[in-house]
């Protein structure tokens, strides 16, 4: 059957980032119809959506006021992640710049319940740390009140029911956080989660009475469970647990006492809904009638009777659904277009597990093209996720579907260090164990060699960000395995990466990779740039000029050195940051990748 070009696939839309309006009848969401995500609204399931913002830059989130017909949205410039906050009036279409400090990052913290104030954290005082601010809805710029100075990576998690306090979280690494409560009037901070070692305290939400905070944590085991902590005493009590999988998030509607929490079951989301009939008890309602996939971003209606959620799955586009909390009945409110590509051509992956060097079983998603006949002639793209403490999940990916339609298989491993499988698994690649995760990639390729459909001489390594490091590391450690490599905004040298990454990120990243002060020699030893002469396969390196996380110098140095002995191509986008958000750039990037792989694989 005929296949479509990459441009057609990159015109497949996604609708996500949902927020219920104060009237309970309108939703806002983000959709990338114009080439970059913008704010849209819709007034009912299947109704015609209306575009609300019209910028060349991406919108990063949108949040309706709980009382007033207005919303706040975020936007950066050229992918530099220095997000500004802006207010949109849907009656007049007017936009007000609330922050007006383009050199600083602003991280949204939510509306007060009366809709008169909002909270955020920002590094406007000191680039390396985040402070907590509160600002009136009609105020702009320097009018924001500095409530609490921080000394690290702070985020705000929402207002107490009486709007007197804020939840404040501080991250030391992806597997270590603290949660506190901040008195808005006095600036006093009450620490709720004292602990030793690395413990995750995530997704903190106020309880209905304002006397408790609900959160997920691995404080008492390997995986995260749902806990309640009393604000006055710091006493913890277990609300619900899963013996095998991570409870990864919780949302609480304070007035209706309704709760939605999600469990990550081998990459798939299982939602549970119920009501807090007492502080430590959830009486569960019907299971939401949602397709099997990955769901998140819960937004309750004003009365708590419904909630909206974003759902994505490999074989369909990302869309917004609204769920009746009690009955579990579900309506799809958006129908993001597939650019004329039949939905039934999108491929669902197979969840597989392969053995690695120390006897562990490593999970992966493996997708074969529909035309595969198991005759050993199929090329494979090994697509390695970033993070590193992230997880490849069965969500929609237009680029993946393009390659599947053009005869490539796609193998997506969740090597050691990935999130979703417990604390111990997540720590298996820390610092001196970094290269064990690369050995898992080698084991995955060996598994592919034994698969009857796979051509072992046509296997490609591809990944972005930390996944780009994994591509380069796999090509230097196991050079004979690869027909080609594609490194997207990847790390080539851990030392120069840590020296040049954004000031606000360095300490957080050193907690995972190792510190410049104590681990420099080791970081040098595992940096692909220092072993680049071992690469034997053609390499394509892509990057954004404005990348604040992995500076573009990482691309330049590996291109220069690898280009001395293997075919290397470099593509830099002047108006992008850590990844490619503008559709014209994505088209150019992935057309070039497809041409590169057609030539060399």
Name residues of the chain where pLDDT drops below 50. Answer: 1
Q: Report, in this order, helix, strand and coil percent for the chain, each rounded to 5.
A: 20, 35, 45
Cβ–Cβ < 8 Å for 165, 181 = yes
Euclidean distance between the first and final Cα of the chain, in Å? 22
What pLDDT shows up at residue 371?
A: 78
**Up-side HSE of residue 311: CA atoms within 13 Å toward CB?**
26
CA distances to 51, 98, 135, 254, 382 from 144, in Å: 29, 9, 4, 27, 47
CATH code: domain 347-600 is 3.40.50.1820
Cβ–Cβ < 8 Å for 462, 382 = yes
Note the pTM of the prediction, 2 decimals: 0.92
What pLDDT shows up at residue 301?
A: 97
The beta strand positions in 125-164, using DSSP E, are 131-136, 145-148, 153-159
CA distance 412 to 365: 5
What pLDDT shows up at residue 504?
A: 62
Dihedral (CA of 225, 229, 234, 238) sign: negative
Cβ–Cβ < 8 Å for 585, 576 = yes
Cβ–Cβ < 8 Å for 419, 389 = yes
pLDDT digits (tens, 9 = 90+) for 360-411: 999 999 999 987 767 889 999 999 998 877 899 999 999 999 999 999 999 9
CA distance 10 to 145: 42
CA distances to 166, 357, 361 from 353, in Å: 43, 13, 6
CA distance 545 to 216: 37
All residues at 6 or more sequence positions from 364 whose CB lies less than 8 Å from its CB, including other chains: 351, 352, 353, 354, 392, 411, 412, 413, 414, 444
* H or E, element range at 398: helix 398-405
pLDDT digits (tens, 9 = 90+) for 175-194: 899 999 999 999 999 999 99
What pLDDT shows up at residue 582?
A: 84
Per-domain boundaries in the chain: 347-600
CA distance 353 to 364: 6
What pLDDT shows up at residue 263?
A: 98
What pLDDT shows up at residue 515?
A: 76
Cβ–Cβ < 8 Å for 205, 215 = yes
Q: How is residue 559 written in tokens?
A: 């291109």
The beta strand positions in 465-549, using DSSP E, are 484-488, 539-544
Continuous H helices in 197-305 = none
According to DSSP, the β-strands at 176-183 and 50-51 are: unpaired
Cis, bond preceding 213 (omega within 30 deg of 0): no
What pLDDT shows up at residue 2?
A: 54
What pLDDT shows up at residue 502?
A: 66
At CA 319, angle to CA 314 and CA 321, rounded to 5? 120
């Amino acid at each position: 059957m005929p296949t479509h070009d990459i441009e057609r696939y990159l015109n497949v839309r996604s609708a996500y980032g949902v927020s219920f309006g104060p009237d309970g009848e309108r939703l806002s969401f983000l959709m990338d119809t114009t080439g970059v995500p913008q704010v849209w609204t819709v007034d009912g399931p299947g109704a015609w959506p209306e575009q609300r913002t019209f910028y060349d830059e991406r919108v990063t989130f949108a949040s309706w006021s709980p009382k007033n017909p207005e919303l706040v949205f975020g936007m950066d410039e050229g992918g530099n992640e220095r997000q500004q906050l802006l207010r949109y009036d849907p009656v007049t279409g007017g936009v007000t710049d609330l922050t007006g400090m383009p050199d600083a990052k602003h991280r949204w913290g939510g509306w007060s319940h009366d809709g008169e104030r909002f909270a955020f954290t920002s590094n406007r005082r000191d680039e390396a740390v985040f402070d907590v601010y509160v600002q009136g809805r009609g105020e702009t710029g320097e009018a924001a009140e500095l409530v609490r100075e921080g000394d690290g990576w702070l985020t705000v998690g929402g207002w107490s029911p009486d709007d007197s306090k804020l939840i404040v979280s501080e991250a030391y690494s992806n597997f270590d956080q603290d949660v506190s409560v901040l008195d808005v009037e006095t600036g006093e901070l009450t620490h709720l989660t004292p602990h030793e070692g690395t413990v995750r305290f995530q997704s903190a939400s106020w309880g209905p009475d304002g006397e408790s905070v609900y959160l997920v944590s691995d404080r008492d085991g390997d995986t995260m469970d749902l806990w309640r902590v009393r604000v006055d005493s710091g006493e913890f009590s277990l609300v619900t647990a899963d013996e095998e999988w991570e409870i990864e998030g919780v949302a609480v509607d304070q007035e209706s006492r309704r709760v939605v929490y999600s469990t990550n079951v081998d990459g798939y989301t299982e939602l549970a809904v119920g009501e807090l009939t007492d502080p430590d008890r959830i009486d569960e309602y019907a299971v939401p009638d949602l397709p099997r996939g990955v769901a998140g971003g819960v937004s309750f209606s004003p009365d708590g009777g419904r909630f909206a959620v974003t759902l994505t799955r490999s074989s369909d586009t990302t869309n917004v659904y609204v769920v009746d909390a009690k009955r579990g009945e579900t309506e799809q409110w958006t129908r993001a277009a597939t650019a004329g590509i039949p939905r039934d051509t999108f491929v669902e992956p197979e969840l597989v597990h392969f053995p690695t060097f120390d006897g562990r079983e490593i999970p992966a998603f493996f997708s074969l093209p529909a035309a595969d006949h198991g005759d050993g002639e199929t090329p494979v793209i090994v697509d390695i996720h970033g993070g590193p403490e992230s997880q490849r999940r069965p969500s929609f990916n237009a680029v993946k579907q393009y390659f599947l339609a053009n005869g490539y298989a796609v193998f997506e491993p969740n090597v050691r260090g990935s999130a979703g499988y417990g604390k111990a698994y997540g720590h298996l690649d820390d610092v001196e164990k970094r290269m064990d995760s690369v050995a898992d990639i080698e084991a995955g390729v060996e598994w592919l060699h034994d698969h009857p459909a796979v051509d072992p001489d046509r296997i490609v390594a591809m990944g972005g960000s930390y996944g780009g490091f994994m591509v380069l590391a796999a090509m230097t450690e196991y050079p004979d395995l690869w027909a080609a490599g594609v490194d997207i905004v990847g790390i080539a040298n851990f030392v120069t990466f840590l020296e040049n990454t954004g000031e606000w990120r360095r300490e957080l990243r050193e907690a995972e990779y190792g510190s410049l002060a104590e681990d420099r020699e080791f970081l040098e030893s595992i940096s692909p740039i220092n072993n680049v002469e071992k690469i034997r396969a053609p390499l394509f390196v892509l990057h954004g000029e404005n990348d604040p996380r992995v500076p573009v110098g990482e691309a330049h140095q590996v291109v220069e050195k690898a280009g001395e002995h293997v075919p290397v191509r470099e593509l830099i986008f002047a108006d992008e940051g850590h990844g490619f958000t503008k559709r014209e750039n994505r088209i150019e990037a992935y057309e070039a990748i497809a041409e590169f792989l057609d030539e060399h694989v």
